[in-house]
Homo-oligomer: A and B are copies of this chain.
């Protein structure tokens, strides 16, 4: 752990603002690695839901979903009452986030436009679009409408954290998605392995008691009178009716037949620069940098050259916090990308100020999670595409399996602070030898070994065990 960083983050707490997360029910006796339980299918992809009634999600006050969007699939515009942080597990795409009062800064020049459109006279302009790629983390504030499009060749897979108990949500603790288009009432059909589990369908947001299980979510325009909409948009009644999407059976992810046409710098430059950049178009400035409207919402968390913790024998970690991506200050969330090599160990540790939601993207690892009574509430393998919540302050240790392990972790604090129990910056090393000898009833030599035998910081190589004191394994 970089000392400067931790000191800074503490100082920030003092001089700036205090993180807040509502309190939850955390009387947890047993945590299980979980997979998505429900699915909403659409024309061009589907969304899976981890069971938000599972105690671990109730404790952390978050919900996790997983979008899988086919090439040329468009996730229709919507907003939620919870802030969102998502990781791009696979593929390339872009999103538009509609911020109130921000100008439409992406516009076609007359020249461009005439070239593309030929004789038509409809020139487009719209708000900024953010591209993202595998390994990126993207933030969306609560209440901000956004849409997502897959412009790649492969399915776009997004792991999405919704922080339902965030201070920004003044409704109750259930996340709700307000769609601006589409009609999931008729379009959605559940398929796949979850079908046998009794709950055939899933609505976006908590369903009312007594309401039909068949009912899904309509878009918000369906709640408005058509006449009023026609007048508000100053269009004819037919156009206003289209906003309601009443006969739309495509679901919430729709296919864009010939590909989405938007104004985007990299869409055009990609062709020229693709060779040089290896297909990875990073965001470029657009000359309108002063305000929230050009706020950065995306950061790569997968680049080993930017690792915060690096041990060639053991693995590495990239942290994404509000120092790197300031919008996380507003969201009160942060993230970690972790990579452990074969059999390597992540130091036993606890996080002081955040819950930790861990999703394995590749390989597997054994985890042990220990509560305040010294009981392991989790002691199991966590496999690819499984998820586990480590509640705040619970102690945890991880050891990668034979294939190593990669994971993404979401944290409910914009500057989560980790305390290790073993290694160079650990609590044990911070203790005087004499406290160790008395606490653990051991000799000074044993205490010294406990403090100094592991000189690595967070990621421990499996082979670094000194032969000196190592007992034969039974």
B182 near A439 with CB under 8 A, answer: yes
**Contact A439/B254 with A2-B101, A101-B6, A232-B347 known, Cβ cut-off 8 Å:** yes
A450 near B23 with CB under 8 A, answer: no
| A192 contacts B by Cβ under 8 Å | no
Tell me which of A84-92, A153-161, A461-469 binds B: A461-469
Q: Which of B208, B329, B370 is close to A27, meaning CB atoms less than 8 Å apart?
A: B208
Tell me which of A31-39, A213-221, A269-277, A400-408 binds B: A213-221
| A360 contacts B by Cβ under 8 Å | no
Contact with B along A345-364 (1 / 0, CB 8 A): 10110111111000000000
Tell me which of A131-139, A193-201, A279-287, A373-381 binds B: A373-381
* B residues in contact with A441, CB < 8 Å: 242, 245, 248
B224 near A101 with CB under 8 A, answer: no
- A residues 228-249 near B (Cβ < 8 Å) are 228-239, 242-243, 245, 248
Contact with B along A91-128 (1 / 0, CB 8 A): 00000101111111010000000000000101010110
Q: How far is the CA of A438 from the CA of B167 in the complex (A)?
A: 35
Q: Which of B225, B237, B372 is close to A177, meaning CB atoms less than 8 Å apart?
A: B372
Q: Which of B3, B261, B446 is close to A102, meaning CB atoms less than 8 Å apart?
A: B3
Q: Classify chain A: how many residues form its interface, as a range.
A: 35 or more
Given contacts A76-B439, A100-B427, A170-B355, 7 further A-B contacts (CB under 8 A): A10-B99, A96-B431, A99-B430, A101-B425, A234-B466, A239-B469, A261-B432
**What 10 A-B pairs are tightest by C-beta distance, nearest first?**
A218-B374, A223-B370, A143-B352, A7-B291, A10-B292, A6-B101, A236-B469, A181-B439, A222-B374, A176-B372
| A453 contacts B by Cβ under 8 Å | yes
Chain B residue with Cβ nearest A420: B100
| A191 contacts B by Cβ under 8 Å | no
**CB of A83 to closest CB in B, whole Å:** 11
**CB of A308 to closest CB in B, whole Å:** 12
A172 near B25 with CB under 8 A, answer: yes
A379 near B96 with CB under 8 A, answer: no
**Contact A171/B96 with A219-B374, A254-B438 known, Cβ cut-off 8 Å:** no
Q: How far is the CA of A322 from the CA of B377 in the complex (A)?
A: 38
Chain B residue with Cβ nearest A205: B372
* B residues in contact with A293, CB < 8 Å: 3, 7
Tell me which of A12-20, A63-71, A297-305, A334-342 binds B: A12-20
A352 near B235 with CB under 8 A, answer: no
Chain B residue with Cβ nearest A326: B14
**Contact A370/B256 with A1-B100, A126-B430, A239-B450 known, Cβ cut-off 8 Å:** no
Highest count of chain B CB atoms <10 Å: which of A141, A243, A295, A376: A243
Q: How many copies does the complex hold?
A: 3
Q: Which of B147, B421, B471 is close to A431, meaning CB atoms less than 8 Å apart?
A: B147
* B residues in contact with A228, CB < 8 Å: 345, 348, 366, 368, 397, 399
A172 near B24 with CB under 8 A, answer: yes
A20 near B182 with CB under 8 A, answer: no
Q: How far is the CA of A174 from the CA of B292 in the complex (A)?
A: 37
* B residues in contact with A60, CB < 8 Å: 170
A432 near B330 with CB under 8 A, answer: no
Q: How far is the CA of A256 from the CA of B436 in the complex (A)?
A: 11
Chain B residue with Cβ nearest A24: B172
* B residues in contact with A412, CB < 8 Å: 170
| A189 contacts B by Cβ under 8 Å | no
Highest count of chain B CB atoms <10 Å: which of A100, A120, A165: A100
